[in-house]
Structure 1
């Protein structure tokens, strides 16, 4: 990719995304009380979420006699509602009070975990129960994710957005490192059902954080009044931005075919390496070590407030190459070690893409654009999950990693070349910003 060896394309992105002089350190967003409450609750809740993901995958494999296709179907059902609901969720995020909306949605996620846990510990859980709850969980998540993503800037303000996105990734991946390891041990000793119940209880943390926030300290723009055609308006806004369309194209292919670890790691641990749930937890934890390291590096880079196009493309390319390497290594320990740099590359790409998109759009459009972003980021999983499961079952459990890595490389090369020929990623951000609204 010689076009990104320090040319004008990267310089243009840096100029367009330049923030005011930095006034914070790597953890600058934590100076904001509302964000501290949010992040504290997320630490507790996300550990439970990752515990549930491991337990859910393992329960599906147990109920289906180790079928990778069944695992792919469960993943597809969980992500399918994104196709139908995430765009409308973006409209709701622009219209409604995001904090109050999140209180309702997080409660719904906790109830899904509670029901699955009760079914499992009482011994009546069947595969169709898991499928149904995956669908319900996916429906709530499809609305919750765009709302939560677009709520970040309201908590910290525009100047701290890049830092907050990176810190969110650190929190997410710290939980990703701890949760699977804890879940693997708990599954061996007490079974999957208690893991679901622990996750249900963990939602109390994020609910408490949201409840204790001071709404007057939020950086809110003027709410978008309800009117017809707001969804189409958001789509037209993105359609006119060819640079954003290219970036979303890149995110779609890498997330759909490259980020398939919810299928591959469980199948590798059980069917290739002959391990139990603790082996799956180990592989997940090794990947999480890498993603946490990648998120930490992103938080350090965020001090200058400049998401870089060069970094985006390099991260995508490195991710594809390292995924292929992880897919061909002969032992579980070597694969686990390879997952660490793979996780770093993955977080380099995803955090840069997320911050770039959020900084690219006008405040009144942020919810709808993030709804589209999450549709692109997650909406391909109903296709990618079954396809990767089919590859694992009919060829080898290593095939999804190799194929996903190859697709990621091609997408990065194509996207990078097109953006280079366009002269970079233009982000015409008006200096309107979000303001803090105080009540008398």
Structure 2
């Protein structure tokens, strides 16, 4: 595709374009389901602890089994693995849609479906990380990751807004049904790809799950990035689980208010992803990560204190911006430092820190919100993220040279020398 702007350069690759377009459609449906499901749980129970429990059920399998998924991604074709996981997700979502539309849905149905979808994601997320790296050249990897984040957060703007209208007018079940159908776009895109024979790779240094953990433990830049990511996921991400409480009880809105708040967070995240996509190199991303983790925490503290709906919507912009820039920048740096033979297993540790710590945070956040209230819970989490970002900034100068050495080593390996 000649003439593409530099910020869209990863779209020059046909397979990446197919992957990008299919995922964009599917993620709109996923965000619709996320908002509709949280509102359904809130409508059925009215309890913050139940919101935390459902989020925990949906994400804890990633924490427990992502390393198994990473091992599978290193030893199977990621393309095949993604087709299987997306088909399974489509079937599970369809079951939840039928139960809801027929009026037979109960809380245990939602928990069970969330648990099974989390199990699928434990294999899907590492496979996607590996597959994206295979669809583009190394020089365009950062751009591909940033475009993925743009896609994710563009869907995060549109999906919640549509879900808010649909939930208020026709109910949650239609959001689940639309999400189920949207998986067809991903599967169709994957099946339409022209895949080159996989290049021969050196045998992995070990075939065990533990190889990824060993690499992370002995590689300080990767270890520090993952520790900060895990901290932010544990303490900061529960804000999204508690959003129905803010929309309903604190800001005195409803499903539309919930969709607006989540959409505003997505808009801030989209802006951050677009800015990352326009960057020509990863130079300086470490400082961005420190600043955005701290800014994310500060914005959460301010949001917890707001009682005006317009101000709360405005504060969701820096919340989304800080979260996505820290996450996508960490993803970029790690992917550019990790050897290909360990990519699936190391990125499974990334998945554990980003997605896997979130359920523990959701369960903890739901419990604390039940006892202390949602605003204080979010403020405490924000303070933890702010402190974590400051500590990371102090440690940053010590490992910059090590990170540069890893960049050069992996660049030489992938270029044959």
User: Whole-Å Cα distance in 1 between the matches of residues 214 and 296 of structure 2?
Assistant: 31
User: Whole-Å Cα distance in 2 between the matches of residues 423 and 166 of structure 1?
Assistant: 22
Structure 1 partner of 2:248: 270
Q: Conserved in 1, the CA contact under 8 Å of 2:66 and 2:352? A: yes
Normalised to the residue count of structure 2, the TM-score between the two structures is 0.94
Distance 1:425 1:179, change over 3 A: farther
Structure 1 partner of 2:11: 30
Alignment partner of 1:75 is 2:55? yes
The match for 1:248 among 199, 207, 226 is: 226
Structural RMSD (CA):
1.9
Equivalence map 1:164-313=2 (5 Å): 164-216=144-196, 220-222=198-200, 229-301=207-279, 303-306=280-283, 308-313=285-290
User: Whole-Å Cα distance in 2 between the matches of residues 202 and 340 of structure 1?
Assistant: 27
Structure 1 partner of 2:110: 130
Equivalence map 1:64-103=2 (5 Å): 64=45, 66-103=46-83
User: Whole-Å Cα distance in 2 between the matches of residues 307 and 46 of structure 1?
Assistant: 30
Please state how far the C-alpha of 1:324 moved relative to its aligned partner: 0.8
- Stretches of structure 2 lacking an aligned partner (at least 5 in a row): none
Please state how far the C-alpha of 1:206 moved relative to its aligned partner: 0.7
User: C-alpha deviations, 1:203-262, integer Å up to 9, x for none?
Assistant: 01111111111101x7x4535768974212222122111222122111110111112233
Q: Across the two proteins, how many residue pairs are aligned to each other? A: 410
Structure 2 partner of 1:400: 377
Moved over 6 A (4+): none
User: Whole-Å Cα distance in 2 between the matches of residues 425 and 61 of structure 1?
Assistant: 48
Please state how far the C-alpha of 1:425 moved relative to its aligned partner: 5.3
Q: Conserved in 2, the CA contact under 8 Å of 1:95 and 1:226? A: no
Please state how far the C-alpha of 1:394 moved relative to its aligned partner: 1.8
User: Whole-Å Cα distance in 2 between the matches of residues 260 and 397 of structure 1?
Assistant: 10
Structure 2 partner of 1:341: 318
Distance 1:113 1:433, change over 3 A: farther
Q: Conserved in 1, the CA contact under 8 Å of 2:63 and 2:351? A: no
SS at match of 1:426: helix
Please state how far the C-alpha of 1:389 moved relative to its aligned partner: 1.0
User: Whole-Å Cα distance in 1 between the matches of residues 249 and 42 of structure 2?
Assistant: 10
The match for 2:351 among 350, 374, 379 is: 374
Structure 2 partner of 1:363: 340
Distance 1:50 1:425, change over 3 A: farther
Structure 2 partner of 1:11: none
Normalised to the residue count of structure 1, the TM-score between the two structures is 0.89
User: Whole-Å Cα distance in 2 between the matches of residues 77 and 224 of structure 1?
Assistant: 38
User: Whole-Å Cα distance in 1 between the matches of residues 359 and 151 of structure 2?
Assistant: 26
Alignment partner of 1:62 is 2:39? no
Please state how far the C-alpha of 1:385 moved relative to its aligned partner: 0.6
SS at match of 1:275: coil
Structure 2 partner of 1:111: 91
Q: Conserved in 2, the CA contact under 8 Å of 1:96 and 1:223? A: no
Please state how far the C-alpha of 1:433 moved relative to its aligned partner: 5.0
Distance 1:161 1:275, change over 3 A: same
SS at match of 2:176: helix
Q: Conserved in 1, the CA contact under 8 Å of 2:293 and 2:323? A: yes
User: Whole-Å Cα distance in 1 between the matches of residues 292 and 67 of structure 2?
Assistant: 27
